[in-house]
Amino acid sequence: MISKGKLAQIHIAKAQLGLSDDEYRAILARTAGVSSAKQLTNRNVGNVLHEFRRLGFVPKPAKKAGRKAPRPPRSRARVMDKIEAMLAEAGRPWGYADGMARHMFQVERVDWLDDDQLQRLMQALIIDAKRHARYPDE
């Protein structure tokens, strides 16, 4: 038996391709030798999904991991914008900055840092960027 996620993906593909029930069951029979998606195994589910992709099914990408960017007050907006830009340049999510806040200050989220802590976190990101040649030397 396959996972609920794979089963859902098969049914999404059926809907996206606009297949009738007869067409859908014919594809299952032809590619996996079953009459229902619940009868699929981990071995033959790949064949069915491959056939759906061949017919034009485009799976949506997985949801991007992470969280929304913080919404700081105006007094901190410039520093937070700089931190966000440095995270984007490094290809890191906000969760990375949250982890730094936990490690450096024992505070769960960047949003909750005071002004001094926020400045020090930004300096740590600058040091990291210089190490990896992402920050111009002055």
Q: Could you read off the pLDDT of 98-114 as tens digits, one per residue? A: 999 999 999 999 999 99
Binned at pLDDT 50, 70 and 90, residue 20 comes out as very high
The predicted pLDDT at position 42 comes to 85
Residue 60 inside a domain? The answer is no
Mean pLDDT of 82-91: 91
Query: Is pLDDT at 39 greater than 80 in this prediction?
Result: yes
Mean pLDDT of 77-97: 92
Binned at pLDDT 50, 70 and 90, residue 62 comes out as low
- Please count the structural domains in the chain: 2
Residue 116 inside a domain? The answer is yes
Binned at pLDDT 50, 70 and 90, residue 72 comes out as confident
Residue 83 inside a domain? The answer is yes
Of 18, 16, 35, the closest CA to residue 26 belongs to 35
Residue 138 inside a domain? The answer is no
Domain that holds residue 22: 4-54
Residue 38 inside a domain? The answer is yes
Residue-averaged pLDDT of the chain: 89
Cα→Cα distances 137→83, 116, 126, 132, Å: 18, 23, 10, 12
Tell whether pTM > 0.75.
no
Q: At what angle do helices 45-54 and 4-17 cross, to 10 degrees?
A: 20
Together in a domain, 41 and 80? no
